[in-house]
A and B are shown apart, each in its own frame.
Chain A
Amino acid sequence: VEPYSTIADIKSLVHKSSAKALRDGDVLQNLPVGTSATMYFRDLGPQLGWTMVFLAEYMGPLFTYLMFYLRLPYIYPHPHAFTSSPLTVVTLACACHTCHYVKRLVETIFVHRFSHGTMPLRTILRNCVYYWGFSAWLAYYINHPLYSPPSYGDLQVNYAFALFVLCEVGNFSIHLTLNSLRGEGTKCRKIPSPTKNPFTWLFFFVSCPNYTYEVGAWLGFSIMTQCLPVAVYTVLGFIQMSIWARGKHRAYTREFKAYPGLRMAIIPLVL
């Protein structure tokens, strides 16, 4: 290849690209190498673009839950096929769950801007099993003919529903805010900050309020349905998101010298 070719040109010559160490924009001439350079390529295996990844992960829960809500045959004992529950909380839960995943799909397509291109196929399979499996497990119980409504009745359902809605709106606001931070093509990095939107004021207290709101939404859903599998899912999600939040928080504090000291990673004043 010519000295003035870019790394991106070379990548297109090789079918499987690696380049974690080098960026697409690097020009060969400017790299710290002599007249002949050895480049190491690593085959990462089959990969999928981020958008496809998230579409696959979120479509599953969306449709599996509906299958259980509609009580398709062979899921529940025979007389219950295609019946519907008389309880309002069951319909409300279906609406919440469906809206949650529709929102996620909309964000994937229209809001999020993804950096690294891809994710390996194995990871996607594992993630899909997790999302699809869990949503099937919790949908089975919520839509079961023997489902028991929450112990404190409508009071519990309504307050939990309010929590759910507030957290969903909050989560969406944060995603919009983070999206506007990353200007088209600019490489400059800005500290995420609160805006006029009250939901973004959580930025005063945490680095990753989107995760905080996500946990809050699932907490609301757990309380609303009073279903143990949902609580388990919430806890597991909280653990995973805390790990991500702490990583992000550490990256922010290292990158920005004037990073607000009051901010924690995911839970205000605590974590």
Chain B
Amino acid sequence: MVSSEEDGGAAEEKETNNRRRNRGAVATAWLTFYNIAMTAGWLVLAITMMRFYLQKGTNRGLYRSIARTLKFFQTAALVEVGHCAIGIVRTSVIVTGVQVCSRIFMVWFVTNSIRQVQSEESVVLFLVVWTVTEISRYSYYTFNLLHHLPYFIKWARYNFFIILYPLGVVGELMTIYAALPVVRRTAMYSLRLPNKYNVSFDYYYFLIIAMLSYIPLFPQLYFHMLRQRRKVLHGEVIVEKDD
């Protein structure tokens, strides 16, 4: 799923300053380094993909050429869950956890393990979406931490998602859908009865449930980002509905 992100990152300027005061110098330095590194990593990914496509003119083998870089930088995002847990980033651990887990799921359990989907166009689609989103997101955080946020980065972060989110979802869903016949045929990651632990798992149905879960989850994330956008870009005061 395209990463949505936090109430913290979308915070008003003065709240940002408050957090800065509470967060230590070491934490700020680490976060700055982390965000710069991630921006750089996703830039490298973007450039590698572009070069490959310009040289070869096809998307066959595109995934293989960036697979290791993608796996490294996407898995590194697990660290962000830690940031929320220890409090140096003001976001819910669960929200970040869900985001990162869904990305890791796509990378490791769909495209990495199911070779046959790697040449699908939908893979290129969501890779492009992720790349653009992550570059704008991480550069936003970097400039924010350095207190020099150019307006166009803020604009990018809070406007690109309007198109990129749905596109990313389409790419991911199409990829999982393409994987279904392969999974069914090979009974991959599945456990049948009878067995000692009296449990069974069918990866095929798990993937179908994963696809269906986009229906409730995607609108929530999308409208959350839309609300954040109105708050940050237009200074609207949004009255949140408390539960």
CB of A148 within 8 A of CB of B200, answer no
Q: B199 on the interface (CB 8 Å rule)?
A: yes
Closest to B200 in A: A141
By the criterion CB–CB under 8 Å, are A148 and B242 in contact? no
- Which residues of chain B from 175 to 204 have a CB within 8 Å of any chain A CB? 193-200
Q: Is A42 an interface residue (CB 8 A)?
A: yes
Contact among A120, A148, A225 for B243, CB-based, below 8 A: A120
Minimum CB–CB distance from A48 to chain B (whole Å) comes to 15
In residues 226-243 of chain B, which contact A (Cβ within 8 Å)?
A: 242-243
- Chain B residues, Cβ within 8 Å of A60: none
Q: A155 contacts the other chain (Cβ, under 8 Å)?
A: no
Residues of chain B contacted by A234 (CB below 8 angstroms): none
- CB pair B243–A227 under 8 Å, yes or no, is no
**Chain B at the A interface: mostly helix, strand, loop or mixed?**
loop
Interface residue ranges of B68-105 to A (CB < 8 Å): none
Give the chain B neighbours of A122 by CB distance below 8 A: 243
* Residues in B neighbouring A229, C-beta threshold 8 A: 198-199
Residues of B within 8 A of A45 (CB): 243
- In A218-241, the 8 Å CB interface with B consists of 225-229
Q: Is the Cβ of B243 less than 8 Å from the Cβ of A226?
A: no
A146, CB-defined interface residue at 8 Å = yes
Decide if A225 touches B196 in the complex (CB within 8 Å). Answer: no
A151 near B198: Cβ-Cβ < 8 Å? no
Inter-subunit contact A227/B196 (CB<8 Å) = no
Q: Which residues of A contact B243 (CB under 8 A)?
A: 45, 120, 122
CA distance A141 to B199 in the complex (A): 6
A144 to B200, CA, bound (A): 11
* Closest chain A CB from B45 CB (angstroms): 36
- Chain B's closest residue to A140 (CB) is B200
Contact A146 B197 (CB under 8 A): no
Report the nearest B residue to A232, measured CB to CB: B199
**How far, in Å, is A63 (CB) from chain B's closest CB?**
22
Contact between chains at A227 and B198 (CB < 8 Å): yes
Provide the bound-state CA to CA distance between A141 and B198, in Å.
6
| Contacting pair A225 B198 (CB below 8 A) | yes
CB contacts (< 8 Å) of A148 on chain B: these are 194-196, 198
Beta-carbon contact of A142 and B242 below 8 Å: no
Name B191's closest neighbour in chain A (CB-CB). Answer: A228
**Which residues from chain B contact A228 at a C-beta distance below 8 Å?**
197-199
Q: Which residues of A contact B194 (CB under 8 A)?
A: 146-148
Q: Per-residue 0/1 for A122-163: is the Cβ within 8 Å of any B Cβ (1 yes, 0 no)?
A: 100000000000000000011010111001000000000000
Q: Which A residues between 180 and 233 are near B, CB-CB below 8 angstroms?
A: 225-229
Per the bound structure, the CA–CA distance linking A226 and B195 in Å amounts to 10
Partner of A226, one of B193, B198, B200, B242: B198
Q: Which 8 A-B residue pairs are closest in the complex by CB-CB distance?
A: A228-B199, A146-B194, A146-B193, A227-B198, A228-B197, A141-B198, A148-B194, A147-B198
Q: What residues make up the interface of B, taking CB atoms closer than 8 Å to A?
A: 193-200, 242-243
Q: List 29 A-B contacts (CB under 8 A).
A: A42-B242, A45-B243, A122-B243, A141-B198, A141-B199, A141-B200, A142-B198, A144-B193, A144-B198, A146-B193, A146-B194, A147-B194, A147-B198, A148-B194, A148-B195, A148-B196, A148-B198, A151-B196, A225-B198, A226-B196, A226-B197, A226-B198, A227-B197, A227-B199, A228-B197, A228-B198, A228-B199, A229-B198, A229-B199
New A-B contacts (5) at CB < 8 Å, excluding given A42-B242, A147-B194, A229-B199: A141-B193, A144-B198, A146-B193, A151-B196, A227-B198
